[in-house]
Structure 1
Amino acid sequence: MPDKDAQTPRVFLIRHGETEWSKSGQYTGKADIPLTPHGEDQIKASGRIVYGNGKLIDPAKVAKVWVSPRKRAITTYQLLAGTREGYEVTECLAEWDYGDYEGIKTHEIQAKRHDRGLDKDRKWDIWRDGCEGGESPTQVAARIDELISQIRDLQGPLMKTSGQPKDVVLVAHGHLTRAFAKRWLGYDLSFPLSLMMEPGGVGILSYQHSSIDEPALLLGIGFPMQQ
């Protein structure tokens, strides 16, 4: 029988704080835009509430931290955790490569494609159509799946144990975090699952029935009692 105190592993998805381009709605992929002062404050506020001993994200329960290579994500983790150490940078969490759409807004992308004779019957949808000069949904899904495989290899053997760190923290971006959640649940990126992730937001993924083969979105969670 599993230990009744064993906790099912969780994956905490964290979006970086506000940048000037996230604030304006400009697509920010490879551009290394820093956090705004307000973005830094967002992360510090989130950290005070959810990160620390006995809190929702308890460092003593975290087995691994992966972070996007963009400095806005790295700064986010460093502000959240109060350390410049203890994380691994991975391209698997880099934001969608927007290619020709870098730095512009949705309506501008749609107009640009319309002028080129595209999308005559339906509006552009990044989840279905991808980005010219950038990544397709298939390419984004492939690198996410690579990281999901690593996470399940890590968490699988720890599933029904107690007293060992088993949670994972991921720090990434707006589109990437939502894409990650879809792939975690086994959906194609084109699947019409509407998800939102605010700057500085925290999402949680886990497993049903303490089974590595039953990944789930943790829709609601009971918060730890304050000590």
Structure 2
Amino acid sequence: MPRLFVIRHGITGRSDIPLTPNGINTVSSKSDQVVGHDKVREWDYGDYEGLKPHEIKEKNPTWNIWTDGCPGGESVEEMTARVDSVIARIREVHRRYVEEGLGKRDTLIFSHGHFSRVLISRWMEFTPALGTHFNFEAGGIALLSYNHGSLKEPSLNGLNLYAY
């Protein structure tokens, strides 16, 4: 069955840190395989961008990103819709591979912590808020696939896998 590998990098927020020359060369050599990054960006923190958790709690003591979203940024519904659109795109790639023998078996996403946790939750058709229960460590790898040889049974096959 096709697999989706999700790698959580260690950058927080939406800061746009440029690639190193080695990173540019690596991406350029794989450009025909890279889909793009716009939809897998981190949750838009809006008014809270750049603030540490304790600073946000000083402004809004009851704030919870999983239920409240971010003022001036993305709501839970907007984040869900964005993640769901990524999942739909991946599932179409997987469907074509399984049903038509087209394309490649596996897909790979590099993403941020909150995006990744929402992706895992939505992949398994859970609410986004369940993402808070997935401790997806920086540099960790998640493996998502399907049970019983069925594209209708999405599964989490591994979390915080590492290549040593």
- TM-score using structure 2 length: 0.82
Which deviations, in whole Å up to 9, do the C-alpha atoms of 1:89-131 show, x marking residues without a partner?
Answer: 14221110000111111111011114xxxx3xxxx21111111
- Contact 2:2–2:98 (CA under 8 A) maintained in structure 1: yes
In the TM superposition, residue 219 of structure 1 has moved relative to its aligned partner by 3.0
1:101–1:33 Cα change, 3 Å = farther
Match for residue 146 of structure 2 among 200, 207, 226: 207
Which position in structure 2 is the counterpart of 1:13? 6
Which position in structure 2 is the counterpart of 1:170? 109
Which position in structure 2 is the counterpart of 1:97? 44
CA–CA distance in 2 between the matches of 1:143 and 1:91? 10
Pair 1:110 & 2:94 matched: no
- Contact 1:159–1:210 (CA under 8 A) maintained in structure 2: no
RMSD value over aligned CA atoms?
2.7
1:15–1:192 Cα change, 3 Å = closer
Percentage identity across paired residues of the two chains = 37
Match for residue 88 of structure 1 among 16, 29, 35: 35
CA–CA distance in 2 between the matches of 1:128 and 1:178? 14
Pair 1:144 & 2:80 matched: no
Structure 2's unaligned 5+ residue stretches are 160-164
Which position in structure 2 is the counterpart of 1:128? 67
Secondary structure (helix, strand or coil) at the match of 2:128 reads: coil
Secondary structure (helix, strand or coil) at the match of 1:218 reads: strand
- TM-score using structure 1 length: 0.61
Count of aligned pairs = 156
Match for residue 32 of structure 1 among 3, 7, 16: 16
Match for residue 125 of structure 2 among 153, 170, 186: 186
In the TM superposition, residue 157 of structure 1 has moved relative to its aligned partner by 3.3
- Contact 2:2–2:94 (CA under 8 A) maintained in structure 1: yes
Secondary structure (helix, strand or coil) at the match of 1:149 reads: helix
Higher CA-based Rg: 1
In the TM superposition, residue 82 of structure 1 has moved relative to its aligned partner by 8.4
CA–CA distance in 1 between the matches of 2:128 and 2:46? 18
CA–CA distance in 1 between the matches of 2:25 and 2:67? 34
> For residue 6 of structure 2, what is the amino acid of its counterpart?
L
Name whichever of 202-211 and 153-162 sits farther off. 153-162
CA–CA distance in 1 between the matches of 2:131 and 2:121? 10
Q: Which runs of 4+ in 1 moved over 3 A?
A: 81-84, 160-164
> For residue 34 of structure 2, what is the amino acid of its counterpart?
Y
